[in-house]
Structure 1
C-alpha cells in the first residue's frame, strides 16, 4: 500500500473514532476517576475505570477536545479493557515511544492505535494524543 493510501486510511480511522467514539461516557461507581487537561489547546478528559483484581474491567471517557485527543481516548479505552494493569501500562509506554518517533515493541498488535503514528511528525499535537494515556497511567499508578 502506498504511503498516501496508508495516510488516508489512518485519517479515516482517526475520524471514525472521533465521530463515533467508543466507550464515551462514565462508569457509575467506577473504581477510579482521573481528570486531566491540556491547557495548550484546551483538551480535557475525565477517565473512569473499573479495575478489579488488577484487571481493567471497564474504561470510559468524557470530555472535549480536538479530533486527535478524542480519537486517542476512544482507541485507548478499547485497547485496555480486559487487560491487566501491567499490560495497560506497557501499551502506554509503547504508545509514548511511537509518539516520540522512537522504535517501539511491535510484537503487540496496536490495532487502530497505529493510525496515530503520524502525530509524531507534529510535536505540538503529541500532548493531544497522549492526554488520555497519561490519565490512564495516573489512575493505575495511584490505585
Structure 2
C-alpha cells in the first residue's frame, strides 16, 4: 500500500495540524467574470436599495404624521423644503443600509470559503500506553 507519508512517527509529527481541502476551480472566461461582476454588483445594489427603503418607511410615515397643512413642528415650511428634508433623511438611511449590506456581504464571502477542519490523528498503541501511564500517575498522586 502506497502512503504519502513515511510510516515512522517523526514523519507523522511533521504533518500540518489542519487539513485544507482543495476545491476544484472551473475556468471561467473574461466575459463570464465580467458578467458575474455585473450580476453581483446589481444584486448588491438591489439589496442595498431594498434595505434602504425598508428602513426609510418608518421615517417617512413618522414625518407624514407630523404634517398639518405643511406646518411641521409648529413651523410653516414650503413644500420644496419639506421634500428636501425627506430626501436628506432617505440618503442617511441609504448610507446605513449600505453599511449593513456591506457587513452581510463580507460575512457571506467569508462563510463561503473552504472549510478548514483539524486533521484526525490516528492513535497508535504507543500513544495509548503513554496516555494510560499519565492517567495512572495523575490519578492517585493528586
Task: Report the TM-score when normalising by structure 2.
Answer: 0.23
Higher strand share: 1
Larger radius of gyration: 2
Q: Which has the larger share of helix?
A: 2
Higher relative contact order (CA 8 A, sep 6+): 2
